[in-house]
Amino acid sequence: MSKKIHVLTIFPEIFSCVSEEGLLKVAKDRGAIEIFIHNLRDFTKDRHRTTDDTPYGGGAGMVMMAGPVIRGINDIESRFGRTFKVLFTPQGEPFNQKIAHFLANEEKQLLLIPAHYEGMDERITDHIDMELSVGDFILSGGEIPAILVMDAVVRLLPNALGNVSSLSEESFENNLLEYPHYTRPNDINGKKVPDILLSGHHENIRKWRLKESLKRTLIKRPDLILKHEFTDEEKSLLKEITDELNSVVKEILK
C-alpha cells in the first residue's frame, strides 16, 4: 500500500518540480508513495487570494492567516480522510532520523504545511499534530524544510529504494556516522584506498568499517555516540580507538 503525502503551500510549483526528479519520482514509479500538492491560495476568500496580513499589535513583516490553512486542512481531510499534520516552523521540534522513522511508520496520510512570512497566526497550531524545525537558521519559508523531510521519510518506505539493506548502514542510524567510502581509481595523487578494502576478506572489512564508523562519530559527533547502545565488540573497538588517540596526544605533548 502506498504512502500518501499531501503538501499545502503557496508555492505548489516547487513541489511539482521536485516530485518529478530523483528519489521521489522513483518512489512514485514503484508505487511506494502518492504525492498531492494543494495550493493554499485556493482556500482564500478574497479576489486577491490573500494568505497573509499585518500583525495585531504592530511589528515588522506579515503574518500567515489561520483561515486559509484551516479551510485547506478541512477540505483535504474531507476528500482524502484523516491526516497527520506537520507544520514547519522555527519553534518546532528539531528534525532527526528518529522522527523520520516515526513519520514513515505513521499509519495516517501525511499533510505537510510550510509556514511562511514573518510568522503565523497562533491559532493554526490548534489544528496541527506536530511542529518541526530543521535547524537554528533563517529561511524565507518552510518549503525547503518540507522537501528535506519528504526525502528523509520516503527513503525509509518499503519499495522506495532498490537496496533496502543499505539503510541500516547510513549515518545517524543507531547514532553512528557512516564509515568512509572509496571507489575507483585506487590511487589519487598518491592517496590510496586502504589495503583492507582490497583484501577480499569480508569479516576483516566489516570490522574495519565498524571501527571507522565508531572513530568518525567519536571525533566528529561525540554528542551522537553518547546516545549509542554499544555491543561488546564495539566496546572493544572503542578501547582500541581511544588507546590509539591517546598515544597520538602523548606524542604531540612530548
Give me the pLDDT at residue 163, please: 60
Domain C-terminal end among 125, 154, 183: 154
**pLDDT score of 169 more than 80:** no
Give me the pLDDT at residue 172, please: 66
Closest CA to 176 of 151, 209, 135: 209
| 3 bridge partner residues | 33
Domain C-terminal end among 127, 154, 181: 154
Domain C-terminal end among 110, 126, 154: 154
Task: Number of helices (H) and strands (E) in the chain: give both, helices first.
Answer: 8, 10
**pLDDT score of 167 more than 70:** no
Give me the pLDDT at residue 138, please: 87
pLDDT tens for residues 16-73? 889 998 999 999 999 999 999 999 999 999 999 999 999 999 888 899 999 999 999 9
**pLDDT score of 166 more than 60:** no
- Report the predicted TM-score, pTM, of the whole model to 2 decimal places: 0.85
Give yes or no: residues 122 and 22 share one domain: yes
CATH code for the domain of 227: 1.10.1270.20
Give me the pLDDT at residue 61, please: 86
Residues 6+ apart with CB under 8 A from 201: none
Alpha carbon distance 109, 4 (integer Å): 5
Give me the pLDDT at residue 164, please: 55
Give yes or no: residues 150 and 179 share one domain: no
Give me the pLDDT at residue 118, please: 72
- Contact between 162 and 156 (Cβ < 8 Å): no
